[in-house]
Chain A
């Protein structure tokens, strides 16, 4: 469904990604894990086509995002994507209702009545009905994440991208986001890509896991396979030790 082929990305002299290759199977959820600052968010932005790789290609549902030269061409490919951002990235000048309705109005161009019933259905299934007239800053971060999910899923995307589902959340809110991802996966059946540095919590939403370190994927498999891996870097990261091949700067 998503195929990342030999991606390179650097910022000035700082090399971030050096030959990342990753295939995400349709209907499954893959987690990309790794320490902070290895370039997980950069990878996500490359997949969304809001950054361009120096080398390599990104395919989404067989379409080449990297070769799409104009924003319009990239937009056509982006239609199959939904994104849940780290801090939800809700539009704070709009109500929660308008946030959820955003894609339907601005992109799909649905009539107000049709959009209205869709928004109400979505709000009901994510228990957001009481908050529809609030502004994002008036509700808790846990609810904002649910709104972000509703906003992403309203156009029924084939792929859902999630950046750091529970960073900055307390353990209860964090767990709620994982439960939300699993519930939505069952209901909408998207292909998922979750970026996280929280192990092993992220395993509960993952069918497969890929670990990224020093610009490349160093291990890949099911959560069980990764846990059993003999790779010292994987073991160090899983067990949260400070000694080992991963250097803490």
Chain B
């Protein structure tokens, strides 16, 4: 009896999970189709880029600055053990461009804008605003989801670029201003060590993370359960799921991109 119920529960769990996966992929597919089909509503896209992207600029620049600064301190410390502290510049730049820029930008945008997107859509769901849209023959996937997904994909790489530039500046200030490295060495070593492929792979990552951000935060909001409880749960799940997904996808993407670009 006990074994049977366990198997039953396990089966139900598998079915439920598979179904949810399927639904979320259909959701993503429909959002993408909605992007390319008329009517286009450019003002919705601009307003989402403003809310998700432009309004995140300051906080992204701030954490970029300090991430670059701390990388310079740690990089100089480690490299000086090998008498190689002249390479502090590339250490900062490559860590930022290849890895920390995309990942930290994504985590920050997910925490700031992802929770907001999920909560907003969740409240629209429980107050029947999404039902109202459908009753007025306006497709909520097109009206609400597509602009947010698009804004995530556009804003994430741009924010990541800002993060990198400000981060390298932060590293420069610490390495040159405080730790006494030569300004010329710092910059010229970056120039010779950073290749275009590093920048490409960073931007590809940021774009994929932008998609994950938009997909998860919209889907969690759209499928939000009843009541304030439902919104609460959806928001938490949205932030956790998107953050974990970013880190997992990051590993695989890094492996693949490194292979592809090294050949």
Contact = CB atoms under 8 A, between A and B. Distances in A.
B134 A50 contact: yes
Contacts of B39: 109
A75 to B, nearest CB: 4
A86 B136 contact: no
B132 A86 contact: no
A8 B134 CA distance: 22
B191 interface: no
Interface in A144-181: 151, 161
A83 B137 contact: no
A50 B135 contact: yes
A61 to B, nearest CB: 15
Interface string A178-210: 000000000000000000000000000000000
A48 B134 contact: yes
A78 B137 contact: yes
A6 interface: no
Given A106-B143, A109-B39, A81 B135 contact: yes
Contacts of B54: none
A78 B143 contact: no
Interface in A53-91: 71, 75-76, 78-79, 81, 83, 85-87, 89-91
A92 B136 CA distance: 16
B129 interface: yes
Interface residues on A, range: 20 to 34
Contacts of A78: 134-137
Contacts of A241: none
Interface string A101-144: 01100110100000000000000000000000000000000000
A81 B132 CA distance: 11
Contact of A102 (B124, B127, B134, B136): B136
A106 B127 contact: no
A5 interface: no
Contacts of B124: 91
Name, among B127, B137, B139, the residue most crowded by chain A CB atoms within 10 Å (CB to CB).
B137
A137 to B, nearest CB: 11
Contacts of A102: 136, 138
Contacts of A92: 127, 129
A106 B41 CA distance: 9
B198 interface: no
B135 A48 contact: yes
Given A106-B143, A109-B39, A89 B129 contact: yes
Interface residues of B, number: 15
Given A89-B127, A106-B143, A83 B132 contact: yes
B138 A107 contact: yes
Q: Which of A83, A89, A90 has the most CB of B within 10 A?
A: A89
Contacts of B8: none
Interface string B130-150: 011011111100010000000
B118 to A, nearest CB: 16
B19 interface: no
Nearest to A107: B137
B151 to A, nearest CB: 15
B129 A107 contact: no
Contacts of B137: 75-76, 78-79, 103, 107
Contacts of A151: 136
A28 interface: no
Contact of A103 (B129, B134, B136): B136
A122 to B, nearest CB: 15
A45 interface: yes
A107 B136 contact: yes
Given A106-B143, A109-B39, A85 B132 contact: yes
Interface of A: 45, 48, 50, 71, 75-76, 78-79, 81, 83, 85-87, 89-92, 102-103, 106-107, 109, 151, 161
Interface of B: 39, 41, 124, 127-129, 131-132, 134-139, 143
Task: Rank and list the top 4 A-B pairs by shortest CB-CB distance, nearest first.
Answer: A75-B137, A89-B128, A89-B132, A83-B135
Given A89-B128, A161-B135, 11 more contacts: A76-B137, A78-B134, A90-B129, A91-B124, A91-B129, A92-B129, A103-B138, A106-B138, A107-B137, A107-B138, A109-B39
